[in-house]
Chains A and B, each alone.
Chain A
Amino acid sequence: MRYAFLVAWREYAENVKTRGFWIGLFLFPLILFLSVQVPVLLEQRATPVRHFILVDPSRGLAPAIEAALEKSYQRQVLAALKEYARKNAAPMTNSAAPRPAPSLEDLNEADAQSLETFVAKGGRDFFLAQLQPRLRTGAPPFQQPRRPFQEVKLPSTINPKADLPSIADELKPYLRQDKLVEADGVPVQLAAAILIPPDFENQIVNAQARPPAAAPRPSAPTQQIQYWSANASDPRLREEVERAVNAEIRRCEYLARGMDAAVIQQVEHTYVPFASLNPKKEKGQEAVGTADMIRQWAPSAFVYLLWVAIFAVIQMLLSNTIEEKSNRIIEVLLSSVTPGELMMGKLFGIAAIGLTMIGAWMAALFGMLSWKSGGASELVGQVFVVLRTSNLVPVFAVYFLLGYLMYAAFILSIGSVCNTLKEAQSYMAVITLLMMVPLMTMVFIPKDPNGPLARVLSWIPIYTPFTMMNRATADPPLIDLVGTLVLLLATTIAALWMAGRIFRIGILRTGQPPKLLEMLRWALRR
């Protein structure tokens, strides 16, 4: 046994020194970090300002549209200001001085009322001044977010009084980016043009029941409000304008029917609160909170982690075994240790490496979580609570151990008969394909953790670790839990035993790797 440990220790120590290990260690968290941050950053910084032209001869809708876009922008400013405050200002303390009302913390950008208050009080300037005394030293200045959409005037060459089709025609070169329009003296590209026909009211589709004879025929596009844009992939402007226009139409309709818009708004903001409760929980604790949400989804995260861990580690095991075989060091080793000791040493040495990497990744994940949520570090706290109180971590440990050993047995068998990684490819392709199944079903299973698919998959030994991990917090029936565990254990032991025999024979042979059938014969004969 001591020799198995020596072999394992060497594997660990030597691998940890390699560049590959450290790259793998940092790569995964880095990729994770980038895949989250980069889209956000791009969204914030790289999306260009969309310039648009609004042609509304009757001036019936233009004011509403402009107001709506301004409001949306102020919402953005409020959100940005709040984020700035969170990062750079000391929190409000319950000091003796009366709290200025309202303060930034009271406002919620999602709430229309808050937004109105924000704008009414003076917007950015007012609240920035309010924040001033609380700002930390060395805090960077507030960076106001750019307006996503900017209205520009019709180019002077186009006659604003002409009919809409001609204006549209004349705008086409600008829309196609062949020519540039002017915005505050700076030439910019025109992203979109909105043309509102003077008789747009005739286009309003009314839900009120009408005699079929009087049902309006669908009108040609030339008579509808037109949104011209060469860019079909960014629908935000169109959506916002559509929303604004429809809100305004409805407001007018309310008015026409004699209903008070303000009253309507109040009615729309009434609601009844709902409490989410879970019958499985203890009395008094029934309320469903963030912890329960985390508990519901954590197994999926663990399954993913399990999968990545097993997959990465068995690759290492494969290349290690093949390397030792191809540089013939295996023969000297076999004169000092038994094949069994060698196998065990490898299994555990490489598992240790895998676990080190997982540990590092988890630490990185937590670090990132807490950095991102910042003030909401309660989220991280909740996560820890869930981890401590639930059985997730020990379950993970058990399934990682058994799952790894089982797959490692397959890998050792393959590695012992192949002389190069290339020869191992066809075997590895099969294994990779088989391992895709847990990944594909990973999201579905928590939705129906004790349903037929989950149960069937749990009983297939190569999928047991992943599926059962996924069902961990969903109270699977005892027979499933114990039965699949026993089956997994038996399969793992059998796989290891067979791998031992194949390893013993294969490791000394050179030449073409044998067919699967012959390998089985080695494992089962004598």
Chain B
Amino acid sequence: MKSENEMAGATALESGKGAKPGELPHEGGVPGVAAALELRNVTKLFGQFKAVDDVSFSLSPGSICGFLGPNGAGKTTTIRMVLEILKPNSGTITVLGRPSALEVRHRLGYLPEEKGLYKKMKTWAIIAYFATLKGMTRKAAKRRAFELLERYGLKEFAEKPTDALSKGMGQKVQILASIAHDPELVILDEPFSGLDPVNQQVMEDLIRDMARHKRTVLFSTHVMEQAERLCERILLIARGRLIFDGSMAEAKRTMPCRVRLETEDDIAPLRNLAEVSAVRAAPPANGQVDGREEGSVQWELELRQDSDPQIILQTCFGQRIRLKSFNQSEPTLHEVFMRLVGPEARKGAGNE
């Protein structure tokens, strides 16, 4: 395992600058460092159905990238193409610098969406088996299996068959099996599904740990809070098309900033501000009906892009609008997702 000094190196890599002409968007970080994974114009058809439509992106080594999208968007298909379980109809995929994932399969780790284990095999044996399939020797694999099981709290289950494990534990084992051989690029399809909050935290730490050691992680999830916490980079795919590719900050900037304030006074001056694009009477927040003072109204203001919410405050003070409360919130990833994907997803749902 690498030392903590790597941490500094890893964080330096993530600068997320905008695309320069001639470059692929968001190659991320230091130009000249080969991308861990690169897709160019990848398309996959199943008969007439376009599961993946002209998708291109690039991941830099040591980054954590969230692969988000509604059900049936094409995430799993894209992932399978990366791992060469399926072949694209057109486009190229470069994995760790090689045109075929098979050439570098020992350096890849994969956790599929549908989880399964050999029921009768012992826990350590399964981890060791998959590690040997990735090129480790039997002895090293066995040692590693026990090491991982101990580190992640499954020591007592090492000799038990996997059907003695609960679903969450089984999933942990599977994740361990996918990283036992210390791969450089790890692709996790819904790693958090079925895990309790404690184990989810454990997984998050594991992912962060990997990134710290300059491993690249691409994971898909429906749990937006986790993606928010972990990812520096987001890929949003819907109906086969990549509709967003950028850093977390950029994603949030696509949503207008919102300010919530409570006041008895007339807010007309605020409406006239250039920065304010919309004003709404905000619905009362849950359970706060009693706290609201008589006569005061809660307002929700939508600000235009790149506006500074401080203008509102200043205007309030300047116009003597007395504030009972003032709240400026960043949009959540959930809201971003709904906004970007919502119309697409509804289109899709409407067709079914």
A38 within 8 A of B: no
Is B105's CB under 8 angstroms from A335's CB? yes
A4 shortest CB reach to chain B, Å: 11
**Bound-complex Cα distance A328 to B76 (A):** 14
Chain A 1-39: CB-based contact to B (< 8 A → 1; otherwise 0):
001001100100010011000000000000000000000
B112 within 8 A of A: yes
Report which residue of A3, A7, A334, A336 has the largest number of chain B beta carbons within 10 angstroms of its beta carbon: A336
Contacts of A18 in B (CB 8 A): 120
Is B117's CB under 8 angstroms from A329's CB? yes
Contacts of B110 in A (CB 8 A): 331-332, 335
- Nearest residue, chain B, Cβ from A327: B116
A203 within 8 A of B: no
Contacting A at CB under 8 A, from B123-181, are 129-130, 132-134, 174, 177-178
Is B129's CB under 8 angstroms from A10's CB? yes
Chain A 328-351: CB-based contact to B (< 8 A → 1; otherwise 0):
110111111110000000000000
A508 within 8 A of B: yes
**Bound-complex Cα distance A338 to B83 (A):** 11
B230 within 8 A of A: no
Is A331's CB under 8 angstroms from B112's CB? yes
Is B133's CB under 8 angstroms from A337's CB? yes
Contacting A at CB under 8 A, from B70-120, are 80, 83, 85-86, 101-102, 105, 108, 110-112, 114-120
B121 within 8 A of A: yes
CB within 8 A of A335: which of B85, B116, B129?
B85
A151 shortest CB reach to chain B, Å: 65
Is A336's CB under 8 angstroms from B134's CB? yes
Is A328's CB under 8 angstroms from B112's CB? yes
- Nearest residue, chain A, Cβ from B178: A332
B37 shortest CB reach to chain A, Å: 14
Contacts of B80 in A (CB 8 A): 331, 508
**Bound-complex Cα distance A333 to B102 (A):** 12
Chain A 109-139: CB-based contact to B (< 8 A → 1; otherwise 0):
0000000000000000000000000000000
B104 shortest CB reach to chain A, Å: 11
CB within 8 A of A333: which of B101, B108, B111, B133?
B133
Is B116's CB under 8 angstroms from A328's CB? yes
Question: With A3-B133, A10-B129 as given contacts, are A335 and B118 in contact (CB-CB < 8 Å)?
Answer: no
- Nearest residue, chain B, Cβ from A331: B112
Is B118's CB under 8 angstroms from A14's CB? yes
Contacts of A7 in B (CB 8 A): 133
CB within 8 A of B130: which of A14, A17, A332?
A332
Is B118's CB under 8 angstroms from A327's CB? yes
**Bound-complex Cα distance A336 to B134 (A):** 6
**Bound-complex Cα distance A335 to B80 (A):** 9
**Bound-complex Cα distance A334 to B110 (A):** 10
**Bound-complex Cα distance A154 to B42 (A):** 102
A230 shortest CB reach to chain B, Å: 57
Is B116's CB under 8 angstroms from A338's CB? no
**Bound-complex Cα distance A508 to B117 (A):** 16
Is A336's CB under 8 angstroms from B130's CB? yes
Question: With A335-B105, A336-B130, A338-B102 as given contacts, are A14 and B120 in contact (CB-CB < 8 Å)?
Answer: yes
Report which residue of B101, B132, B133, B134 has the largest number of chain A beta carbons within 10 angstroms of its beta carbon: B133
Contacts of A327 in B (CB 8 A): 116-119
Is A336's CB under 8 angstroms from B105's CB? yes
Contacts of B111 in A (CB 8 A): 332
**Bound-complex Cα distance A328 to B174 (A):** 12
**Bound-complex Cα distance A269 to B132 (A):** 77
A514 shortest CB reach to chain B, Å: 13
Question: With A332-B177, A332-B178 as given contacts, are A6 and B133 in contact (CB-CB < 8 Å)?
Answer: yes
A82 shortest CB reach to chain B, Å: 53
Contacts of A10 in B (CB 8 A): 129
- Nearest residue, chain A, Cβ from B129: A10
Contacts of A338 in B (CB 8 A): 102
A246 shortest CB reach to chain B, Å: 68
**Bound-complex Cα distance A329 to B120 (A):** 13
CB within 8 A of B85: which of A3, A328, A508?
A508
Contacts of A329 in B (CB 8 A): 116-118
Report which residue of B83, B102, B115, B129 has the largest number of chain A beta carbons within 10 angstroms of its beta carbon: B129
B83 shortest CB reach to chain A, Å: 5
**Bound-complex Cα distance A337 to B177 (A):** 15
- Nearest residue, chain B, Cβ from A326: B116
Is B114's CB under 8 angstroms from A328's CB? yes
CB within 8 A of B108: which of A17, A335, A337?
A335
CB within 8 A of A328: which of B102, B115, B134?
B115
**Bound-complex Cα distance A276 to B178 (A):** 71
Question: With A3-B133, A337-B133 as given contacts, are A331 and B85 in contact (CB-CB < 8 Å)?
Answer: yes
A419 shortest CB reach to chain B, Å: 12
**Bound-complex Cα distance A331 to B86 (A):** 11
Is A14's CB under 8 angstroms from B117's CB? no
Contacts of B83 in A (CB 8 A): 334-335
- Nearest residue, chain B, Cβ from A328: B116
**Bound-complex Cα distance A327 to B120 (A):** 12
Contacts of A335 in B (CB 8 A): 83, 85, 101, 105, 108, 110, 112
B131 shortest CB reach to chain A, Å: 10
Is B118's CB under 8 angstroms from A331's CB? no
**Bound-complex Cα distance A332 to B113 (A):** 10
A427 shortest CB reach to chain B, Å: 23
Question: With A6-B133, A10-B129, A14-B121 as given contacts, are A334 and B85 in contact (CB-CB < 8 Å)?
Answer: yes
**Bound-complex Cα distance A18 to B116 (A):** 19
Contacts of B112 in A (CB 8 A): 328, 331-332, 335
B328 shortest CB reach to chain A, Å: 45
**Bound-complex Cα distance A336 to B135 (A):** 9
Is B132's CB under 8 angstroms from A6's CB? yes
**Bound-complex Cα distance A14 to B129 (A):** 12
A32 shortest CB reach to chain B, Å: 29
Report which residue of A3, A328, A332, A338 has the largest number of chain B beta carbons within 10 angstroms of its beta carbon: A332
Contacts of B120 in A (CB 8 A): 14, 17-18
Contacts of A17 in B (CB 8 A): 120
Interface contacts beyond A327-B116, A327-B118, A336-B130: sample of 15 additional A-B pairs, CB < 8 Å, sorted by A: A10-B129, A14-B118, A328-B116, A329-B117, A331-B80, A331-B85, A331-B110, A332-B111, A332-B116, A332-B130, A333-B133, A335-B105, A336-B133, A337-B133, A338-B102
What 8 A-B pairs are tightest by C-beta distance, nearest first? A328-B116, A327-B116, A331-B112, A335-B110, A336-B133, A328-B114, A329-B116, A335-B83
Sampled A-B contacts (10; CB under 8 Å): A327-B117, A327-B119, A329-B117, A329-B118, A332-B110, A334-B83, A335-B105, A335-B110, A336-B130, A338-B102
